[in-house]
Amino acid sequence: MTNQKDLPLLILIDGHSLAFRAYYAFLNSRRGLLKTSTGIPTSICFGFLNSLMQVIKVEKPKYVAIAFDSKEKTFRHKFDVSYKAGRPETPENFIVDIKNLQKVLEILNLFTITMPGYEADDILGTLATEASNKGYRVKILSGDKDTFQLISDEQNISVLYLGRSGVNSSSEKGYTEIISKTVIERLGIASFQVVDYKALCGDKSDNIPGVKGIGEKTAVKLLTEYKTIESIYENIEHIKGANQKKLKEGKSEAEHSRYLAKIITNCPLVFNIDEFKLVGFDQATAQNIFEKLELKKFRENINQLQKNLGGEIPHQSLQKVEEAINEQQTNKNNKEICIKPLIINDILQLDKLINILTEYQDINYPIAWDTETTGLNPQTAKLVGISCCWGEEVNNIAYIPIEHKEGEQLSKEKVLEKLRPILENKCYPKVFQNAKFDRLVLLNQGIQLNGVVFDTMLASYVINPDKSHKLSSLCKQYLTNISSQDYLELKINKQQTIADLDITQVANYCGMDAYSTFLLVKPLKKRLAEIPILEKLFLEVEQSLEKVLSKMENQGILIDIEYLNNLSEQNKVNLLCLEEKIYEEAKEKFNLESPKQLSKILFENLQLSTKKSKKITTGYSTNHAILEKLKGDHPIIDYLLKYRTLSKLQSTYIDNLPTLVSNQTHRIHTSFNQSVTSTGRLSSSKPNLQNIPIRTELSRKIRKAFISPKKWLLVSADYSQIELRILAHLSQEPLLVKAYCDCQDIHTLSAQLLFDKEEITIEERNLGKTINFGVIYGMGSQRFAREAGVTPTKGKDFIKKYHQRYKKVFQFLENLKIEAITKGYVTTILGRRRYFNFYSDSLRNLYGCNPDEINLDELKYSYSDSQLLRSAANAPIQGSSADIIKVAMIKIEKLLRNYQAKLLLQVHDELVFEIPLEELEELQSEIKQIMENSVKLTIPLLVEINSGINWMEAK
């Protein structure tokens, strides 16, 4: 008798199932969707390949085939037009990603198959059955339980089930093999009963109705007793109560659902299993596609990949051919430059190093520096070591260990004493990757860093804000044979820090960072010099701002912890009251944090319209945007929105802020992120002070917790309507320009134009305000109607009138969209660029064309591209706002050098200061003057400035 394991193994892949799981695993992760430095989406390519290679590595098949759904409607759609109806439209970036995946699979010689009129499941069923009949073991890789009906121990067919966690599963293999016994354990029925099970209780994800009123438990109970659906109806008179009536009334639905749920195992496919054999691939071609898609993991492990896919690893003589094609990537270990850092662990070596460093005073050849610390919080992290690089030779690098747990090293005090004259002297030019962090680390060691003439991270950000600015990414983009090691590659466990590592290992890691930073200066300077306006932006704004932000972070802001603790108790009472009101409206208690349970309450129990939601795996979405659409449909919605707002403020700020107060300074030290946003705006983290709302009563109370020291005040200086003023300046809309120059109320003016009358009520002015700010962000008539509380018809009329009144505004916004299409980018007042990579060929093909020949109304493009075009119209406005406030911050910092006052926070268009009473009157006037004149526009900028003992009073 033949042993099953002796039979050849065929792995069949449910292509779309695996692709969707890869896509949504990254979409729902903290990291988000993957894309290359040029904007190509790669989540599916990476996740799919990662999962597939893991399966091949573990299972070691000789044959593999991958089935995909075809674009055409299947026989099921023809039988029932509502089949799979209600599923969300496939995202545009998914389509781009899966096309690239199919190219990769082709290059790897992995057999893929589709068939018009049939689903991938039908192809899998047919291939599995045919292969089993020909003596193959078959394992189907899928995350879809529908495939469980194909499982048969007798036929040697099993399913490698990915489950919800998919490739990110915590299990060692990332999947579970399902055999006949496992189906019974999981579903309570045998594999041959899966189709009947779906016929009875339906499948919401595929819009298969089933028998109305028959749920999963009842279906299992019926099949346990009667085995098949035919037997159930043969014994229908023996089934008592309501279930008998439901089954009788739903017999046609059961038959209908059974037809939809059954996987076909006899598709008219013509194939030869030998085509599925793993035969390896051409490595040079694969290296090229991996390089283009920046799939580093597969590029670096290409030999192992070749081996797993049945190929032979090329001999050295054959690799020479590949090297000629792609010299940089092949034979990587031999090609990469290995540095030879000098480890400084005695005083004589340190003195020699100092002598070398003092020779370098040419601003064109700054010395690169890098610090290693025990953490990412410069306030609390310990300084473990310092590296520097002064030349292109691999031995022009030194590492000075200071606080490693083991190994010979000098004392921190002695090292800093020797380095201080260089680090604090601006005559010795320096370059850093993210200078702000190193500046703060050194500041907390008593070193006032000076002479920073270049920051590679900021240079990269100015060149293209949407690319990765990590050192490893910059090396890949600008350097040859240099690879900066990622921190995660050090494999430091949770109980350790870098101080636990061997000095030599850290010397190579930190030394390579300094060496890479040194080498990056030349290509980055060259790139900036090619676009002089960006070079000016980098030198005069971004690099100057870094020092300002460092001071702000180091200063921090005082928090009233006792006040927040009391506020927390008050808010908990309010949350409990809201919970009771929600339960009362729902007529039952449920878990408010469970989207699945809330979905059931809203769309099943309360019968709210599902048309305003979208179908997801747990039912219908109940996110904030959906609840906003449901406002007014039921009293529970208002309670839910308020509950979520209060709950988020409670967890994010009220309870969290006290935990972030420094034990040393008793202040909160937020981190300002200078190279994160696409528009040039600053963001902040730990805590994110940019997201504290101001409209609600509770959010204003939270601002009250930010306080000034005794005999000082907090001062808030806020640009008034800066984005609308920028829009007026850029568009040169006569009505807006005149209104601002005449100091008119722009919201009243818009309301007057919309309502065709002079006397305007408060409510009408609010409508004008909503539409004024909404137009900047591309607000459509439906959203305007929803936010303004008017009917969709009125909303449409208002938008139409607004277009007619402010023609130049909308022409300007249309021109920005066309500029993004034809040039690939748009610019701000100071020349900051934001680049756009569109998905639709209709837009891609217009790159470089004459903008005067383009009519946007005649173009067809995807929803994703419509979102990008909306961003293109908004980016110059938001970005110019960022430019203006950054220039103001730089000028104000220079002013404050002669005062005790400190700049503490930047939140959107607002600056927050801490000013002693004796300086208040003078500085308020000076700050207002600088902010209103930081960048000259054709219309005046206006700054509103207020003070108080806390931020709420100052605002």
Q: What is the 3-state secondary structure (H, E, C) of 829-885?
A: CCCCEEECCCCCHHHHCCCCCCHHHCCHHHCCCCHHHHHHHHHHHHHHHHHHHHHHH
**pLDDT band with cut points at 50, 70 and 90 for residue 873:** very high
Residue 467 tokens, joined: 């690319």
Same domain, 174 and 289: no
Residue 2: the pLDDT is 46
CA 814/CA 856 separation, integer angstroms: 8
Same domain, 530 and 597: no
CATH code of 803's domain = 1.10.150.20
Residue 482: the pLDDT is 85
Asked, for residue 271, whether it belongs to a domain, the answer is no
Same domain, 470 and 561: no
Identify the sign of the CA torsion 107, 113, 119, 125.
Answer: negative
End residue of a domain, out of 813, 837, 872: 872
Contact, 209 vs 84, CB < 8 A?
no
Same domain, 255 and 293: no
Same domain, 552 and 562: no
Same domain, 404 and 468: yes
Model pLDDT for residues 176-197, shown as the tens digit of each residue: 899 999 899 888 999 899 999 9
Same domain, 172 and 228: yes
Model pLDDT for residues 493-503, shown as the tens digit of each residue: 878 899 999 99
End residue of a domain, out of 872, 905, 920: 872
Say which range, 318-332, 534-548, 624-638, 748-762, has the weakest mean pLDDT: 318-332
Q: State pTM to two decimals.
A: 0.70
End residue of a domain, out of 556, 576, 609: 556
CATH code of 189's domain = 3.40.50.1010
The answer to whether residue 816 scores a pLDDT higher than 70 is yes
Residue 173: the pLDDT is 66
- Percentage above 70 pLDDT, the chain: 95
Average pLDDT value over all residues in the chain: 88
Residue 368: the pLDDT is 97
Same domain, 642 and 510: no
Model pLDDT for residues 301-330, shown as the tens digit of each residue: 888 898 889 887 665 433 443 443 344 444
The better pLDDT of the pair 274, 952 is held by 952
The residue range of the domain holding 288 is 281-305+313-329
Residue 371: the pLDDT is 97
Asked, for residue 789, whether it belongs to a domain, the answer is yes
Residue 327: the pLDDT is 44
Asked, for residue 215, whether it belongs to a domain, the answer is yes
Residue 243: the pLDDT is 87
CB crowding 495-514: b at 16 or more within 10 Å, else e: eebbbebebeebbbbbbbbb
Asked, for residue 275, whether it belongs to a domain, the answer is no
Residue 163: the pLDDT is 66
Among the listed residues 561, 582, 564, 562, the one whose alpha carbon sits nearest the alpha carbon of residue 572: 564
CATH code of 514's domain = 3.30.420.10
Identify the sign of the CA torsion 184, 188, 192, 195.
Answer: negative
Same domain, 82 and 129: yes
Same domain, 613 and 759: no
Residue 776: the pLDDT is 67
| Mean pLDDT score, 393-408 | 95
Asked, for residue 69, whether it belongs to a domain, the answer is yes
Asked, for residue 885, whether it belongs to a domain, the answer is no
Residue 4: the pLDDT is 64
The answer to whether residue 937 scores a pLDDT higher than 90 is yes
Same domain, 574 and 425: no
Q: How many domains does the chain have?
A: 5
Say which range, 528-542, 685-699, 701-715, has the weakest mean pLDDT: 685-699
Asked, for residue 225, whether it belongs to a domain, the answer is yes
CA 748/CA 754 separation, integer angstroms: 10
Model pLDDT for residues 594-646, shown as the tens digit of each residue: 888 999 999 999 999 888 888 776 678 898 888 988 988 999 999 999 999 99
**pLDDT band with cut points at 50, 70 and 90 for residue 172:** low
CA 209/CA 202 separation, integer angstroms: 5
CATH code of 631's domain = 1.20.1060.10
Asked, for residue 702, whether it belongs to a domain, the answer is no
Same domain, 578 and 549: no
Residue 334: the pLDDT is 41
